[in-house]
Each structure stands twice: as C-alpha cells, then as structure tokens.
Amino acid sequence: MGKTIRTAPPPLTLAGTALFLDYDGTLVAIAATPEAASADEEARALLAGLDRALAGGLAIVSGRPVGDIDGFLAPLRLTVAGLHGLELRGRDGRHRTAVGAETALEPVRAAFAALAARHPGTLLEDKRLTMAFHYRGAPAAGAEAETLAARLVAESGGDLQLLPGKMVVELLPAGRDKGRAVEELRRRPEFAGRRPVFVGDDVT
C-alpha cells in the first residue's frame, strides 16, 4: 500500500488573497442587543489597514443590513454583503437588493411578534428582508422559537429557510446564504483570481 504524502498549501500573499469577514462574533463580540455591537477605533483602524494592504480585496459578509455595518464602521466604508447576500454594496457605491424577498416573510412577522409577546426578554429583529428572533434574554423560549421557525419553513412551500445562530433563529428567503454572497463578490474585479479566505463564527 502506497504511502500518502501530504503537502502544505501554498502560502498566502497579499496580492493573491481575498478576505471575507463576518461581523458579529468575529470582528466584534456578540452583544446583548443588536444595536450594541459597534466596532471600536482599534478594529476600524485594523480593517482600514487590511483594506489598503489587500488593494480592496476585503469585504464584510454579514447577516446584518448594509446600513448597520456602515454605521458600526463609520467613517470607514468597505465592500459589504448584508442580510446573507440579499443586499450588496460594492466599492463603486452601487447597492443591489434582492427583489421580492419581503413577500415570503409576511406570515413570519405576525407569528414571531406573537411569540415575543408571550416571552418577555426576547427580541424580534425585523431586518425587512430577513426576520431574527433573539432569545438570549429569555433562554427558556428557545425550544418554542426553534419549533415555530421550523413549522414556518415547512409551511412556506420552499420559499423560506432557517438559519440557526447563537441564541437566535433567523428566517429568510430560500436560496440565499453567505457562501453565495462570497461567490458573487468573487466575480468583481477587486476579488477575481484571488484565493478566498472566509473568517466567521457560526454555520451561516
């Protein structure tokens, strides 16, 4: 039986690397509430330096809206894929939003709002194109939230998908995720031909 020879991958170079970074749990610690996760001055300076070193080959790929990321990183403006790729804003400033994504979420809003009303301490985050139910403040609501989310997905006839996270369940239109967002970004000139490196902290 032949001996398997393992070789190390080629080293990364700045000119040949595209860096894709999640935001929550990666660039900043998970916060008690969505609006409390602003990046500090040191993180913003580090990202600005990386963006320069990579000649623009840096993007934030997040479940948050693009506007939230811009607000957290201001005055820095990077390429951002938001809402798991439902939104994308490039270095050229052009903003692309998925068409028709809101329709699939209409039944989710009422169901999640009723669940939040039954469980004080939970938080319903309506991101317009996705809906996230946070139960970090009421962990006992987690099982019911996961059961409800699974039922809503099943009843959607394939229109919705569930993204479980850390003390959160999130529903969004099917067929979108951060992997597809990265593939779309890689077709842009500043990322094309580079070796992609993604850094994140969860299954999304």
Active site residues: 22
**DSSP assignment string, 151-187:** HHHHHTTTSEEEEEETTEEEEEETT--HHHHHHHHTT
Residue 200 tokens read as 């994140």
Cα separation of 18 and 43, whole Å?
A: 19
CB 81 within 8 A of CB 185: yes
Distance CA 114, CA 36 (A): 25
Torsion angles phi and psi, residue 84, rounded to 5 = 60, 30
Question: Residue 59: beta bridge partners?
Answer: 20, 79
Torsion, Cα of 166, 172, 175, 176 (10° steps)? -60
- Cβ-contact 171, 177 below 8 angstroms: no
